[in-house]
């Protein structure tokens, strides 16, 4: 299957700082990228959907000013957690899909964010 790289795999930061997470599709051009948040022993919660070159569409209850998403190219999307707080600590997962790939979502390995 297609390869999606997510970086970093783990990050620890101080409260109040911002953290950027990158999601790259390595072997295909992703028309759409998705960002999820996963709490311990729970399912994935979709945070936002981003299409290359346009603004992300956020799910209800997700603060767009808190979680900044940029999808600048067909192979890269970034999620920036601004002014992070301990309650933002979670596992963040991205996925990428493309029309030519039958819109199957391919997932990154996830980023474990710990805010101290």
Partner 1 sequence: GDSVTQMEGPVTLSEEAFLTINCTYTATGYPSLFWYVQYPGEGLQLLLKATKADDKGSNKGFEATYRKETTSFHLEKGSVQVSDSAVYFCALSEPGGTSYGKLTFGQGTILTVHP
- Residue 57 tokens read as 């569409």
- Residue 115 tokens read as 């805010």
Closest distance between partner 1 and the C-beta of residue 32, in Å? 6
Q: Kindly identify the residues of this chain, within the stretch 85-114, that bind partner 1 according to CB under 8 A.
A: 93, 95, 97, 103-110
Q: From CA 7, how far away is CA 101, in angstroms rounded? A: 23
> Of 49 and 80, which CB lies nearer to partner 1 in the complex structure?
49
Segment interacting with partner 1, rule: CB under 8 A, options 12-20, 42-50, 69-77, 80-88: 42-50
- Residue 3 tokens read as 């390869």
**Residues binding partner 1 (CB under 8 A):** 1, 4, 6, 32, 34, 41-44, 46, 49, 93, 95, 97, 103-110
């Amino acid at each position: 299957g297609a390869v999606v790289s997510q970086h970093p795999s783990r990050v620890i930061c101080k409260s109040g700082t911002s953290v950027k997470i990158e999601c790259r599709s390595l072997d295909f051009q992703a028309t759409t990228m998705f960002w999820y948040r996963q709490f311990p022993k729970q399912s994935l919660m979709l945070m936002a959907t981003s299409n290359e070159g346009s603004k992300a569409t956020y799910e209800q209850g997700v603060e767009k000013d808190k979680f900044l998403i940029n999808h600048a190219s067909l192979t890269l999307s970034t999620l920036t957690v601004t002014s992070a707080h301990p309650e933002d600590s979670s596992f963040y997962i991205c996925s990428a899909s493309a029309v030519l790939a039958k819109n199957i979502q391919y997932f990154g390995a996830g980023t474990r964010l710990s805010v101290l």
